[in-house]
Structure 1
Amino acid sequence: MKNRTALIAAPLLVLAYGVLRIVDGLDGVRGPGVAWTVGHLAFLGALTLFVPIFWEMRSMLGRSAVASTALVAGVVGIGCAAAQFTIDIIVGFLAADHDAMSPMFEQVQAVPGVSLAVYSAGPILFYVAQLAFAALLAGHRMVKVWVPVAVLAEIVLSAVNKDLIPVGAVLLFVSFLPLMGRRTPVARHVPAHA
């Protein structure tokens, strides 16, 4: 895979976010502050790196309709999650303390459609795309069956308890290892004419 740097950096940035999130909560509250801001910026960086990762996975799968649908869902999910993290960063900058953050979030989420698109259904598409690509790659025997299992575990662990995001990041990295060994995307070979 051409984007080996992205395959390494994305899980590392998710790991950084997970660790900083834990550090930020050591005093009993999360945000605002340096750990809040840097952690959210790290996850935004990871989201950005998933665009070329998803794009190349689609190419590996021969740009099929299912892979293209996964790509579109993934990019939409990335956009929604990025909007959420951007809002979090802005609120963190504007709020004097943790207590001042809640009313700001309530104002944002009161805007019609924002809660659904940015805080619930929208970001889920990002995770659905991760799992879909892993399953498609396994179905085409480009990765082993354990890869989608690792991706599913990463998603479930992070959803069940956000303090497990660092563990999920390690699983994400492990799930990317088989892709790092691929030198080129799978291409459709056309026989040469005599």
Structure 2
Amino acid sequence: MRIHPAYLAAPLLSAGYGILRLVDGIDGSRGPGPAWTAGHLAFMGALVLFVYIFREMWLMLGRSRGATAVLVAGAAGAGLAFVQFAIDVVVGFMAADHEAMGPLFDQVQAVPGVSLLVYQAGPVLFYVAQVVLVAMLAVRRQVPVWVPALVLVQVLLPFVSLDLIPLGGLLALIAFLPLAVSDRRVPAHA
């Protein structure tokens, strides 16, 4: 049995982002500054690892059409979320203080399609793909049934409050443990 570190690192980086976000907000505002930048970079790293994880789950699912569609949607969503976080980092570097960030974000979001693709609908694909891929694995009995339930909870927590992101990262870590320590039997035709 081998440890697959991406399944552990992605949730830990997500939790790290959430913790740094809380630290950044102690003074009553978020960004710009070291905690803002470090937190965003941590989540960008998590997004890259999640694309790898999606690919691994796709392989476990035998590269089926359904799994392929979810992989593509999830990777696109992760890519769009990555762009959002990259914009946040650049705005953080460009702005002298928190108040100066608002007009810069307004300029970016004024570009047609950016608000919808980068800040709204696009990243949702990333979160939906997480749930769907682990649900597909559970249907095939490749992970316990509690895994998709836990992933669903961790995906929904930030919609309740962004301050719950660290808890979501911890739940994702627990949910991905069976995948992190599994033999990940890939179908022979893969």
Given that residues 54 and 71 in structure 1 are in contact (C-alpha distance below 8 angstroms), is that contact kept between their aligned partners in structure 2? yes
Distance 1:160 1:108 in 2: 26
For 2:5, what is the secondary structure of its paired residue?
A: helix
Query: Which has the larger Rg?
Result: 1
Task: Report the counterpart of residue 192 of structure 1 in structure 2.
Answer: none
Task: Report the counterpart of residue 72 of structure 1 in structure 2.
Answer: 72
Q: 1:2 to 1:123 in 2, by over 3 A?
A: farther
Q: How many residues align?
A: 189
- Within a 5 Å distance, the mapping from 1:31-46 to structure 2 comes to 31-46=31-46
Structure with greater contact order relative to length (CA < 8 Å, sep ≥ 6): 2
Gaps of 5+ in 1: 190-194
- CA shift, 1:2, in A, is 7.1
- Within a 5 Å distance, the mapping from 1:108-147 to structure 2 comes to 108-147=108-147
Gaps of 5+ in 2: none
Task: Report the counterpart of residue 97 of structure 1 in structure 2.
Answer: 97
Q: Normalising by the residue count of structure 2, what TM-score does the alignment of the two structures yield?
A: 0.96
What are the superposed Cα offsets for residues 66-113 of structure 1, whole Å, 9 maximum, x if unpaired? Answer: 100110001100110000000000000000000000000000000000
Distance 1:86 1:181 in 2: 32
| Partner AA of 1:125 in structure 2 | L
Q: 1:152 to 1:35 in 2, by over 3 A?
A: same
For 1:4, what is the secondary structure of its paired residue?
A: coil
Give yes or no for the alignment of 1:168 onto 2:136.
no
- CA shift, 1:186, in A, is 2.7
Moved over 3 A (4+): none
Task: Report the counterpart of residue 85 of structure 2 in structure 1.
Answer: 85
Given that residues 3 and 181 in structure 2 are in contact (C-alpha distance below 8 angstroms), is that contact kept between their aligned partners in structure 1? no
- CA shift, 1:3, in A, is 7.3
Aligned-residue sequence identity (percent) comes to 59
Q: Normalising by the residue count of structure 1, what TM-score does the alignment of the two structures yield?
A: 0.94
Given that residues 137 and 143 in structure 2 are in contact (C-alpha distance below 8 angstroms), is that contact kept between their aligned partners in structure 1? yes
